[in-house]
Structure 1
Amino acid sequence: MKKNFFILTFITIFFLYACLGNIIDNENDQFYPKIPEELNNETIMQAFYWEMGTGDYLKNYPEEEKLWRLLAQKAPELSEVGITALWLPPANKAMNGIYDVGYATYDLCDLGEFNQKGTIRTKYGTKKELESAIAALHDEGIKVYYDAVLNHRMGADRTEKVRLSSQSPDKPNEEISAWTVFNFPGRNNKYSEMKWNWQHFDSVDENLFEGKSWDWTFYMDNDYLMGADVDYENLEVQKDVTDWGKWIINDIDFDGFRLDAAKHIDYRFINSWIDDIQNNTDKDVFFVGEAWIEDVSELARFLDTVDNEDLKVFDFPLRSFFVDMIDGADLRNLEYVGLINIDGYKDKAVTFVDNHDTNRDEDEKAGILRRKYQSYAYILTREHGTPVVFWKDYYIWGMKEELDKLLLARKYFAYGPGYEVDNNDEDVYSYVRAGLPDVEGDGLVLMISDGESRKITTKSINSRQPNTTFYDFTGHIAERVTTDESGYGDFKVIMSENEGWSVWVPLVE
């Protein structure tokens, strides 16, 4: 009897504790503001990195070898923290089959469906797995963006004789054997009947073909990048690549594109390609160009040159300042740096801290090693720009726990007009989001430091929310701050590389 009594008592206590836990969880949920769905912040995750599925990464993270399946599994947790879109790696068959990250484009129409380059699947999986992943992500409200590598082709099926232009730097007017014949034998004309030959390209290895000229790229004297350089003045090429883009959006069900090496592609084609795709779908397609230009005026000029209102670009000038922050920089400049702070271009900026190019083992590109959370805090709380979180930072470098706090701060609190703070200094930067007028409990005060003393710095800041109690959503500062009737409060941040960021949000009880 005693044994049964103790068992019954234990079960009862466990049940009551579980119920109490659920009540507490539900009570905590009320502290998150109710943001209208149409106003939810957009946040992208780059869902791959250069070394994914290779070497020690494959040993330590074997699930990444089947990325499309993994993304379907991760969809609920990513949606929960506020990820609204995934930037996928190039999903088409590339020159080196399953060993290729995807940037050596072979066949855009083979998404892991045909036996080409020694494999049916790509490095990331099969076409069927890709489509299943897209469906699972869409079920969780997450959009999916395709990494379109359109500048060049590599891994041709055979060579052909081609005469070079007199302008070719190596062998003017000579005849060479060029790897320019792409027959795609495994696909057997499915999705596209076009076969590629030298007439569809301008050059290989910077050797311009006879009768060809460089396309109208942003830097016309620096058109060539790699492989067989695609000729976008060729009408057959224009039609084939445009038809492919429509197919990716309307049939495969992607929601947007990242345009690789955009400054090497004919800007007239980029403009018309975007319009043709946007005008042939019911979706509001997302387009971001990778134009690696670190001078902000030049990056703005690139956008002006393409002249398409739907095109955004990665904010490389802002990322350059994050590099400067590694060893200390004047944080007052965060008010001015990057495309994100240029009037007329602020919403054209896609902001990031690191990506597959800036953090890469084989090239000894270490990326941003210090004050990385400060950089993420900046892009994730900003009024303008679309921020990107890097998979390698989130899942591989162990930043998930702290990044989740910043992601949730963006999802629930980073709303309303943004205001610079007038008492920023060299070592502490602050920024205010005033909140939405009809939403209770949103808005925030961001503070970033680059100090090392571990002392706490206090700043009197106008939160734009009078008589409101705030708490540090990151948990770095334990005490609360209550603002006066004008909205001012004494907000704090730790002078520390490891804890030098605080996001103060309203406490709603």
Structure 2
Amino acid sequence: MENPVILQTFYWEMNTGKYAEEYPEEANLWQLLANQAEEIAEAGFDLLWFPPANKGAAGVDDVGYGTYDLWDLGEFEQKGSKRTKYGTKEELLNAVEELHKCDLKLLYDAVLDHRMGADKKEKVKLKDCSEAEVWTKFNFPGRNNKYSSLKLDWNCFDGTDWNELTQEAGKLLFNTKEWDDSFADDYLMGANLDYQNQDVRADTINWGKWIINEIGFDGFRFDASKHVANSMIYDFIEETNQSSEKELFYIGEAWINDVDTLVNYLESINHPKLHVFDFPLRERFIELMHGNLDLRWLGEKGLVNRKNYKHRAITFIENHDTERDEASEYHTEAVAQRKLQAYCYILMRRDGVPKVFWKDYHHFGLKEVINNLIEARKKFAYGEAYESESNDQNTYSYIRSGDQDHPGSGLVMMITKHENGKIIEKTVNSGKADTEYYDYTGNIEEKVKTDGEANGQFKVKGTAEKGYSVWVPVES
């Protein structure tokens, strides 16, 4: 993949409320993605991040994170339905086939931390020697041992959060158990899987191999990975990767806003194939939205700018957790709040793999602009990368020098937080002498010519809506 881009194919409220009314086609996501395969590929996307495709505790209403049965991809009558929220297994397999025809790679959202929606409860002894009645028996009656014969009971979990005997919530650790070796608190929600139990460990890894080799996915996004046993994440990557000749891709969702701590997380897993979402960089984008970010230091922010780790960063602005109707820093004023400056930054940068959010792309009116930025990335974002010496608190310029393998490549990217309505002009060395440039975004109409030392007076519009430009060489 050259200059890869990820599309997140879902959001939390998909096919609910006003979204079900306005976007009825999203009721059958697998069918929708299959139908859009060519369009998605032509837009320049390389990887698609799927939601959890397995049966959740809430059946067709489950976004996928209330995992009940990993092995049920919409094939069995369980939890009140055969299909999942997104469709049936047959529709999923068809989507995988159609998307692969367009050379798209697919990432499965693996929820490995917990299970929910147990079939029965059982009495157990807790660590403090008291007794509890807990929902920990999973028999998967609809599946009838297909794919896996493992049934789950309290022995498969470290603990849970609800005691039926006392009708009280609280973190309950079972007798003879210890929490696993996760980076953050092992307990997050539901019935917490015990990966010191070798049957649970083996079954989960076998499931991962099945997802890759039988269902056809090309990698995983690990939900809440900092709460899953570090050794389990390592072994899961190692064994699924060795089971396939494909070049698999792995992303951990370690929601950590500090770069040093995020680096510590990567080192604790210690697997070279693991990428992580760059939450520290997103924090800086929130500052940018509010006009509080000093752009002189933007080139030093986030994991994407940390030496030895920048290639492990997945850069993004929003996801299904950060952007919800009831809680989002950006809300729906996507353009006015400098979101496109953020997209311009991640899509032109040499390091990191940028991810586009479904709502931004399809619902917030940004599809045309994002397509334009992706096209600029694919055509021009090559060669050496460096910040301009003219960067100041309000305006930032970033240069790609171009390379011989991509004739006509190279660019000058500019973003600003100015809102004075004026044209901001900066002297920038583009690395290309006596070269004429034009703004690929169309935000600035006139062209710019560099001098014999490659310096030019590059421009960007001082508005929140159009405060971004990507200057590229005019075709000779």
Q: Does 1:55 align with 2:17?
A: yes
| Mapped pair 1:445 → 2:412 | yes
**Structure 2 match to 1:401:** 368
Compute the displacement of 1:231 (Å). Answer: 0.5
Larger radius of gyration: 1
Aligned to 1:193: 149
- Aligned to 2:210, which of 247, 253, 257? 247
Instruction: Name 1:326's counterpart in structure 2.
Output: 289
Query: Which residue, out of 193, 207, 230, partners 1:267?
Result: 230
Pick aligned residue for 2:395 from 417, 428, 450: 428
Offset at residue 226 of structure 1 (A): 0.2
State TM-score, norm by structure 2: 0.96
| Contact 1:444–1:506, Cα closer than 8 Å, also in 2 | yes
CA distance in 1 between counterparts of 2:68 and 2:329 reads: 27
Cα distance in 2 between the residues matched to 1:397 and 1:279: 40
| Equivalent pair of 2:4/2:45 in contact (CA under 8 Å) | yes
Question: Which residue of 2 is the match for residue 44 of structure 1?
Answer: 6
Contact 2:107–2:218 (CA under 8 A) maintained in structure 1: yes
**Same amino acid, percent of matched pairs:** 52
Give the superposition deviation at 1:78: 1.3
Question: Structure 1, residues 381-415: CA drift from partner, whole Å, max 9, x if none?
Answer: 00000000000000011111111111111121111
Contact 2:120/2:137 (8 A) holds in 1: yes
Amino acid corresponding to residue 313 of structure 2 in structure 1? A
Distance 1:496 1:365, change over 3 A: closer
Query: Partner of 1:162 in structure 2?
Result: 124
Match of 1:8 in 2: none
Displacement of 1:495? 0.9
| Structure 2 counterpart of 1:195, one-letter code | K
1:463 to 430, 433, 445: 430
Spell out, residue by residue over 1:331-375, the C-alpha distance to the aligned partner (whole angstroms, 9 max, x if none). Answer: 112111100000000001000000000011244665584100000
Q: Which residue of 2 aligns with 1:345?
A: 309
State the AA in 2 paired with 1:243.
Answer: N
Q: Report the AA paired with residue 225 of structure 1.
A: L
Instruction: Return the match for 2:43 from 62, 81, 95.
Output: 81
Runs of 4+ residues deviating >2 angstroms: 362-369
Counterpart AA for 2:357: F
1:496 maps to which of 423, 443, 463: 463
Aligned residue for 1:457, secondary structure, equals strand
CA drift at 1:323: 0.5
> Aligned partner of 2:389: which letter?
D
* Structure 1 range deviating more: 361-370 or 466-475: 361-370
Aligned equivalent of 2:168: none
RMSD of aligned alpha carbons:
1.1
Query: Offset at 1:417?
Result: 1.7
Q: In structure 2, how many angstroms separate the alpha carbons of the residues matched to 1:417 and 1:232?
A: 44
Alignment of 1:15-414 (within 5 A): 40-166=2-128, 173-205=129-161, 206-219=171-184, 222-328=185-291, 329-363=293-327, 366-367=330-331, 369=334, 370-414=337-381
Give the secondary-structure state (helix, strand or coil) at the position aligned to 2:36. Answer: helix
2:288 & 2:386 partners in 1: Cα distance? 22
Give CA deviations for 1:215-237 in whole Å, capped at 9, x if unaligned.
00113xx2210000011111001
Taking the aligned partners of 2:181 and 2:414, their CA distance within structure 1 comes to 44
* Shift of residue 436, structure 1, vs aligned partner: 1.8
CA contact (8 A) 2:286 2:329 kept: no
What secondary structure is seen at the aligned counterpart in 1 of 2:144?
Answer: coil
Aligned-pair distance for 1:69?
Answer: 0.4
CA distance in 1, matches of 2:436, 2:179: 61
1:251 counterpart SS class: helix
Unaligned runs of 5+ in 2: 162-170
Distance 2:433 2:41 in 1: 33
What residue identity is the alignment partner of 1:51? E
**SS in structure 2 of the partner of residue 312 of structure 1:** strand
Tell me the matched-pair count.
Answer: 463
What per-residue deviation string (whole Å, max 9, x for no partner) do you get for residues 189-208 of structure 1? 11111101100100001200
Please say if residues 354 and 367 of structure 1, whose CA atoms lie closer than 8 Å, have aligned partners that are also in contact. Answer: no
Contact 1:81 1:411 survives alignment (8 Å): no
Q: Deviations over 1:231-264 (max 9, x none)?
A: 1111001100000000000110000100000000
Amino acid at match of 1:422: E
Quote the residue 1:506 is aligned against. 473
Q: Provide the secondary structure at the position in 2 that maps to 1:65.
A: helix
* Preserved contact between residue 43 and residue 85 of structure 1 (Cα < 8 Å): yes
Distance in 2 separating the partners of 1:191 and 1:412: 45
